[in-house]
Structures are given as structure tokens and as C-alpha cells.
């Protein structure tokens, strides 16, 4: 009889990873461990937990069984050694960079980046006295020109928000490793179903689990996933490799090996930041991830159909979906995203800012809100909302045109989505809209 452990497929792990029947009740769903603290077996075990000599539950600000199930599932899907969950995607990013960086450090960051991440990094740069080197990720030599021997990390998104730029992961990883720095990739838009950056050389992945992972717009959450392959003891990361004053001189990388960064994040950064993921939110994430593969297939198919349709409509300018035949990212999509390039993309209305406003107001099926990754189709017009205070020249400098519209295509019948978009386009052109 073959005793080789079976390597389960992605869809199977999305349903089962991190989850076991409750040993006390037999419950098949992971229980919501809604508790602040956990009773210790005795004083010796309590001391061992606090000294990081044994692994166990102390307090839900540090770890919780429901949250741990989500962490284990995400790590399995991303092909990482483990994960640490946080209260939001931005909390996860902030914690990671806070753990890695020291005053005076430099990081290379893709210019094509979610606005919230840009604002966060600028704030961290001022507070921590670090230097940000902004990189044109579309330039094949952009990373190499921006990275120096002082660079401590490279950061980009698999599929950029909102421009749809696709990262050449292997190229960025190669440049990062030449100087002994990790490549950190935000994989929110792709999800591990469409792309697993760690398999292409990235070292750490971050997520806003608020989006496609939960998939229903109910939950704010984030996570950091580590590959376990980066050498944190290469002389460049004293916060992980050198003695910690918080744990009597413990060296995280030497003591915990491939889990060194994760233990640093959990035991110090999460403990001190307090940006903990609630058990109930972890429960919702576990439910959402069970259908991740099924949902993403439909998201991808619907989005591509919508993008192709928009490309031939009057009044529509550029359609920036990376999987379209004329996209400059088509070859990278085929290389890194063979199942599809996700369902978030943008397009331009020739009628500009006022046309964008009319377009939004004419829609009835698409939800107008600032989120992506929902089962419902979502739309936002940056020039009249998130970028409302900017003049047209300022919009151009930020990579957003007055008529730019961002779509997050959901799971509805595509004919219904096109019907509603057609009404919006008529309104944008100044034509009357009928029900």
C-alpha cells in the first residue's frame, strides 16, 4: 500500500486546509473561538508560552484558533510556510515594513500602486526616516536602475490597482536577490488561484483579504504570507537575525528558522500594534475561501467579456484590461496568470469628468462604492469621488484621466451587466436613458 502523503489540489485545499472537525463536538465547520484569553494548563506551560519556548494560545491579540485556521489555509493556497493575519490589508503591510526596516533604510516601490498603499508608505517614510525609490515597473530596467546596495525590500502588486499593470515577478525577484533584499508582492487582485508569486521567486506576499478572498464585501482583513526561503541572517536584517531585547536576547531567525519572520510579526509586531483579526471575521473568510476557485473562474470570464464589449462601444477610449490582445501586459499574463488576469480594470470615457458622473448616476445594477472583489459588480469614478479635489492636470499626473472609470466585475449574468453599462454609456454621451 502506498503510504506517500497525497498532495491535494487547490480546490480541495481551499475547502479543507487549516480545518479539522472539532474534537469535542464533531462540528464540521471551524468554531468561532470568541474569547479574549485562554486558560493555561499550569504555571510552567504559561511561562513557556510567554518565553516562546512552546507554541500555544495565550491571548487573542496574538493568536486565536479560528484565526489560525484562516492563516493555515491561506499559506497552503499561496505555497508559503505560514501566515500571520491582521485586521486589514494596510495593517498587514505596515506591520511587515515596520518589522523589516530601520531608520535610514531604502525600499524600491512600484509607482503603479493602490493609493492607500502609496499614502501609507509616504507616511512610514516620514515617521521611520526611510527613503522610497519609486519604480516604473513597465520599464524592463526600472528595478535595476532604482535598486542600490542599501535597498532593503522591493514592493509591487501582481496586478496593479487601478492601472492593471502586471508585474514581471521573476525579473523583480532577480534584482532583489542580487542585493540581498526580499521581493514583497501584494497579491490581492490576482489571489493565489490566478497567481502564486512565491512560486516565481517572490519572498513575501501580502493580502487585503477584504477583497476576493472573502468575496462578499462583509469583512475587513489582511495577511502576510512568508515563503520561508529568504535568508534573514544575511547581515542586512538585524531586527530578525540579531538578539531581541523583547525576549531576553532571542534571535528569531536562528531560533525559528523558516518561521523567523512570521514569529517576529506575531510575537512582537502584532502584539504591539494590536491590529488583530477578529475570530468572527476569520470565520467569514474561511467560508468565502471555500468557493474562491469557482468564483474566480466566473469573475475572470465576466470581466473579459465586459472589457471586450467596452472596446467597441462609442464614447469609450482606452480599455485597460491586461488580458486583451492589444494589452502591453498580454505576454506577462500568459506567463504568470494563465487562468486569467482577474476582474478589476479601468476604462476611459471620452466625455470626461462630467460624462463619468452621468455614467455612474445612470447605473442601477452596478454598485457605486469604494471596494473591489465582491460577488456584486462594483464601479467607481475616481475624478468625482476619490480624486474629486484634483484638477485635470493633477489627475493626469496621478495616472487617472477625468473620464477614467474602474470596474470590479462580479458574478451576475453578463448580459445584465452589459445592459446596465449600455445605459450608463448613453447617459455619458448625453443621451436620454430609458428603463
Q: Do domains 63-289 and 292-428 have the same CATH topology?
A: no
User: Residue 59: what pLDDT?
Assistant: 83
CA gap 346, 324 in Å, rounded: 12
Q: What pLDDT score does 390 carry?
A: 59
Residue 2 has pLDDT above 80, yes or no: no
User: What are the cell numbers at 352?
Assistant: 470626461
- Report the chain's mean pLDDT, rounded to a whole number: 92
3-state secondary structure the chain: CCCCCCCCCHHHHHHHCCCCCCCCCCCCCCCCCCCCECCCCCHHHHHHHHCCCCCCCCECCCCCHHHHHHHHHHHHHHCCCEEEEECCHHHHHHHHHHHHCCCCCEEEEECCCCHHHHHHHHHHHHHHCCEEEEECCCCCCHHHHHCCCCEEEEEEECECCCCCCECCHHHHHHHHHHCCCCEEEECCCCHHHHCCHHHHCCCEEEEECCCCCCCCCCCCCEEEEECCCCCCCCCCCHHHHCCEHHHCCECHHHHHHHHHHHHHHHHHHHHHHCCCCCHHHHHHHHHHHCCHHHHHHHHHHHHHHHHHHHCCCCCEEEEECCCCCCCCCHHHHHHHCCCCCCCEEEEEECCHHHHHHHHHHHCCCCEECCCCCCCCCEEECHHHCCCCCCCHHHHHHCCCCCCEEEEECCCCCHHHHHHHHHHHHHHHCCCCCCC
**What's the CATH number for 63-289?**
3.40.640.10
- pLDDT above 60 for 1: no
Q: Specify whether the CB–CB gap between 255 and 243 falls below 8 A.
A: no
Give the pLDDT of residue 330: 96
Q: In angstroms, rounded to a whole number, what is the distance separating the alpha carbons of residues 145 and 422?
A: 44
What are the sequence ranges of the domains in the chain? 63-289, 292-428
The answer for residues whose C-beta is within 8 angstroms of residue 127's C-beta and 6 or more apart is none
Q: pLDDT by residue (tens digit) across 49-101?
A: 777 778 788 888 989 999 999 999 999 999 999 999 999 999 999 999 999 99
pLDDT digits (tens, 9 = 90+) for 146-187: 999 999 999 999 999 878 999 999 999 999 999 999 999 999
Whether residue 359 contacts residue 350, with contact meaning beta carbons closer than 8 Å, is answered with no
pTM for this model (two decimals): 0.94
Using an 8 Å Cβ cutoff, are 114 and 120 in contact? no
Q: 77, 17 in Cβ contact below 8 A?
A: yes
- Using one digit for the tens of pLDDT, what is the confidence trace for 205-219? 999 999 999 999 999
Q: Which three cell numbers stand for residue 91?
A: 495593517
Q: What is the pLDDT of residues 343-370, one digit of tens each?
A: 999 999 999 989 999 999 999 999 999 8
370: closest CA among 102, 185, 162, 85?
162
Question: Which of 45-49, 190-194, 303-307 has the weakest average pLDDT?
Answer: 45-49
Region 326-341 average pLDDT: 97
Q: What is the 3-state secondary structure (H, E, C) of 271-312?
A: HHHCCCCCHHHHHHHHHHHCCHHHHHHHHHHHHHHHHHHHCC
- Provide the pLDDT confidence category of residue 292 given band limits of 50, 70 and 90: very high
Mean pLDDT check: name the lowest of 22-31, 249-258, 264-273: 22-31
Class of domain 292-428: alpha beta
Q: What is the pLDDT of residue 398?
A: 57
Amino acid at each position: 500500500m502506498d503510504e506517500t502523503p497525497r498532495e491535494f489540489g487547490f480546490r480541495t485545499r481551499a475547502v479543507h486546509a487549516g480545518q479539522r472537525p472539532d474534537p469535542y463536538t464533531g462540528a464540521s465547520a471551524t468554531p468561532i473561538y470568541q474569547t479574549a484569553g485562554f486558560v493555561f494548563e499550569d504555571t510552567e506551560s504559561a511561562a513557556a508560552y510567554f518565553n516562546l519556548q512552546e507554541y500555544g494560545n495565550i491571548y487573542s491579540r496574538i493568536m486565536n484558533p479560528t484565526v489560525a485556521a484562516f492563516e493555515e489555509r491561506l499559506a497552503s493556497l499561496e505555497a508559503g510556510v505560514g501566515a500571520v493575519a491582521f485586521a486589514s490589508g494596510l495593517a498587514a503591510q505596515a506591520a511587515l515594513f515596520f518589522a523589516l526596516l530601520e531608520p535610514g533604510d531604502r525600499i524600491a516601490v512600484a509607482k503603479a500602486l493602490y493609493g492607500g498603499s502609496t499614502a501609507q508608505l509616504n507616511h512610514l517614510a516620514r515617521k521611520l526616516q526611510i527613503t522610497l525609490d519609486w519604480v516604473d515597473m513597465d520599464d524592463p530596467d526600472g528595478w535595476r536602475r532604482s535598486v542600490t546596495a542599501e535597498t532593503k525590500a522591493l514592493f509591487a502588486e501582481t496586478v496593479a490597482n487601478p492601472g492593471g499593470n502586471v508585474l514581471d515577478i521573476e525579473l523583480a525577484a532577480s534584482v532583489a536577490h542580487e542585493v540581498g533584499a526580499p521581493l514583497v508582492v501584494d497579491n490581492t487582485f490576482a489571489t493565489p488561484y490566478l497567481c502564486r508569486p512565491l512560486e516565481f521567486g517572490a519572498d513575501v506576499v501580502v493580502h487585503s483579504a477584504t477583497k476576493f478572498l472573502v468575496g462578499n464585501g462583509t469583512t475587513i482583513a489582511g495577511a502576510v504570507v512568508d515563503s520561508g526561503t529568504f535568508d534573514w541572517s544575511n547581515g542586512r536584517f538585524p531586527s530578525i537575525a540579531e538578539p531581541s531585547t523583547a525576549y531576553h536576547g532571542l534571535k528569531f531567525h536562528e531560533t525559528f528558522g523558516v518561521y523567523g519572520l512570521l514569529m517576529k510579526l506575531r510575537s512582537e509586531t502584532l502584539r504591539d500594534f494590536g491590529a488583530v483579526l477578529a475570530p468572527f471575521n476569520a470565520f467569514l473568510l474561511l467560508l468565502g475561501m471555500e468557493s474562491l476557485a469557482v468564483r474566480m473562474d466566473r469573475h475572470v470570464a465576466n470581466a473579459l467579456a465586459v472589457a471586450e464589449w467596452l472596446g467597441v462601444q462609442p464614447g469609450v477610449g482606452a480599455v485597460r484590461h491586461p488580458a486583451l490582445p492589444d494589452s502591453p501586459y498580454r505576454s506577462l499574463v500568459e506567463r504568470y496568470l494563465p487562468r486569467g488576469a482577474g476582474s478589476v480594470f479601468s476604462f476611459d470615457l471620452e466625455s470626461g469628468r462630467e460624462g463619468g458622473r452621468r455614467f455612474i448616476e445612470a447605473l442601477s445594477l452596478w454598485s457605486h462604492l469604494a471596494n473591489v472583489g465582491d460577488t456584486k459588480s462594483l464601479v467607481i469614478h475616481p475624478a468625482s469621488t476619490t480624486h474629486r479635489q484634483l484638477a485635470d492636470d493633477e489627475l493626469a499626473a496621478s495616472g487617472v484621466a477625468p473620464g477614467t472609470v474602474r470596474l470590479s466585475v462580479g458574478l451576475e449574468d453578463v448580459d445584465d451587466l452589459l445592459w446596465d453599462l449600455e445605459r450608463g454609456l448613453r447617459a455619458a454621451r448625453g443621451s436620454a436613458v430609458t428603463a
